Amino acid sequence: MATSPGSAGDPDLAREVVAFTRQATRRYNRARSSFPDVLANLYSAALALGCAAAIAVSFVFALRDGIAGSMVHSSLVDSRWHVLPAATLWFLLTYAGLAAIAIVARKLGPVTAGPAEAAWWLPLPLDRRPLVLPSFLRRTLATGLAAAVAYLPFSVLTALDRHAAAHLMAAVTFGAVAVTAVAGAAVLQLTPQNPPQYPALMLAALVPGAVLPFLAGARWPLALALAGAAAALAYAAPRAGLVPRAELVRGGAVSGHVHASVFFLEANELHRALAVAPRSPRQRRRGARFFARPVSGAFTALVRADIVAFFRLGPPVAGPLLFLAICGGVVLIDPALPALVQIAVLVIAGCATASGTGTVIRRTALIPELDALVPLPPWQARLSRLAMPTLAMGCWMGVLTAGLAALGPAGPLLVPLGVLAGAGMAAGTLRAATRPAPDWTRPPVETPFGPVPRDQVSALLRGTDMTILAMMPVMLALYLGFVHPLLIPAQLALSAGSILYEVRFGGRPA
């Protein structure tokens, strides 16, 4: 058969391969499951979904009533600084959500071939479109549905004057734009080595889509979003078979890693799966001159290696800058949000930023034997790992607290308090990197959300608990409106204690 894989081939033969695969899969699943098992799984899933929905709905409406009611009597800044229209912040958050969907979809594929598929039919000279298109369409539509469901509470909280039908229309509009974003990511797969302008153009094309959910009072935004999603799918679907083989295998590997991490509740593995690898030669050579300089001593050499690894493997600066912008927008919004809601947003942004600085720590934690090869005590190796996260979080918290101090709350003493808190937050990244793996050999614990492994909640909170604890003095100062003299030594003790504890005992996985 003189055809090139993925471009031309016998479509009937490809469909026969797909039909055979589905029949074999159904036969295998039926042999390993029974009707009572399926019924029990459906009942457990429905019960877990119902409990989660009930909790989410009650929380959203309680928060909505609090925002609209008597809770809005205090803010972290004076009312004269409430200059940012609420619609602007909600638009920026909507666009950030769409951009995140597009970026994650590009990392995961979205047109993929799993390891078994890559070993079986990918080398065959077949038309790949019937083989990869069904999974691509399922993934795209599932993303749109999940995006619509996730946007619904956001619409309820941010548009208090809308009626129920308008909220539903806004959610469906956002879901349709999310489908467009995933289809755009699939188009980028056709040329994996495309210039950097192409992803930028795709992200820029999502800006009008982020406006459409706020025009849900009319019907034409929904029609326009659905038409855009249909056009994007009509362009991407016929070309799904043209995605290069290497790109299919890469997307399948990343998707499998992410799915396994979510199924086994492994937060560290999820971070590793979604980590950004240095692609350009310039990124791979960051710090080359600094690394080539002579050093004296093993500890200095290890610190230098960790610094270079941080600059090469660390997260892009866009993430920390985005969280800084969100924190600034939350305190400047008009009408103001309750002070406790603003503090909660600051804590979430701090935890997310601190987690992003732990890329090197998470990678080295995979092979703890590497530290044993270094002629240094283990605590010095862990101290070296903390050098750059401590510096990065100190700078991030310093910038955040400097901006808040300039707006009035807590005064200039808030800045050193924030820098000290950043050091303690970095210790949480080392603690999070040594989370114990879920113990699936022990009987799971039955919860309203379904069975989970024992001690799983405490394992997931490992690291985050220390990060939040390190931020407590700063958040208390913001809530009180001034820095009490006892908060500085308390923050110093918390940060120093967190670092010392993790340096001395952080290598223990449990």
Please give the single-letter amino acid code of residue 334.
D
| Backbone phi, psi, residue 297, to 5° | 105, 145
| Backbone phi, psi, residue 334, to 5° | -130, 120
Please give the single-letter amino acid code of residue 339.
A
CB half-sphere exposure, 160, CA atoms < 13 A:
12
Residue 468 CA to residue 113 CA, distance in Å, equals 40
Do 334 and 87 touch, CB atoms closer than 8 A? no
Per-residue confidence (pLDDT) for residue 181, from 0 to 100 = 95
The two three-digit tokens of residue 509, written as one number? 């996985």
Rounded to two decimals, what is the model's pTM? 0.85
Per-residue confidence (pLDDT) for residue 142, from 0 to 100 = 94
| Backbone phi, psi, residue 447, to 5° | -130, 165
CA distances to 168, 169, 436 from 164, rounded to whole Å, are 6, 9, 44
The single residue listed with the structure tokens 């008597």 is 70
The single residue listed with the structure tokens 């549905």 is 145
pLDDT in tens, the chain (510 residues): 344 444 455 667 777 877 887 788 788 877 887 778 778 878 878 887 888 888 888 888 887 877 766 445 567 887 788 888 888 889 999 999 999 999 999 989 899 887 777 777 778 777 888 888 888 999 999 999 999 999 999 988 888 788 888 899 999 999 999 999 999 999 998 887 777 778 888 888 999 999 999 887 788 999 999 999 999 999 999 998 888 888 888 888 888 889 888 887 788 888 888 876 655 566 666 666 766 677 788 888 888 888 888 888 777 788 899 999 999 988 888 877 888 888 999 999 999 999 888 888 888 887 777 777 888 888 888 888 898 999 999 999 999 999 999 887 678 899 999 999 999 999 999 888 888 777 777 777 777 666 777 777 777 788 888 999 999 999 999 988 888 889 999 999 999 999 999 888 876 554
Per-residue confidence (pLDDT) for residue 292, from 0 to 100 = 67
Strands 450-452 and 84-85 come out as unpaired
Beta strands in 290-388 (DSSP E): 333-334
> What is the biggest distance separating any 2 CA atoms in the chain, rounded to whole angstroms?
81
Per-residue confidence (pLDDT) for residue 508, from 0 to 100 = 57
Residue 101 CA to residue 107 CA, distance in Å, equals 10
The two three-digit tokens of residue 408, written as one number? 């009035």
The single residue listed with the structure tokens 């997931």 is 460
Residue 319 CA to residue 353 CA, distance in Å, equals 7
| Backbone phi, psi, residue 76, to 5° | -75, -20
Encode pLDDT of 132-168 as tens digits.
Answer: 888 899 999 999 999 999 999 998 888 878 888 889 9
CA distances to 92, 147, 175, 176 from 228, rounded to whole Å, are 21, 16, 12, 8
Strands 333-334 and 445-447 come out as unpaired
Per-residue confidence (pLDDT) for residue 297, from 0 to 100 = 81
The pLDDT mean for the chain works out to: 84
Q: What is the DSSP letter of 240?
A: G
CA nearest to 204, candidates 226, 184, 175: 184
CA nearest to 410, candidates 346, 500, 502: 346
Which residues lie below 8 Å from residue 137, measured CB to CB, with a gap of 6+? 233, 237
CA torsion through residues 108, 113, 115, 116, sign: positive
Per-residue confidence (pLDDT) for residue 368, from 0 to 100 = 76
| Backbone phi, psi, residue 446, to 5° | -80, 125
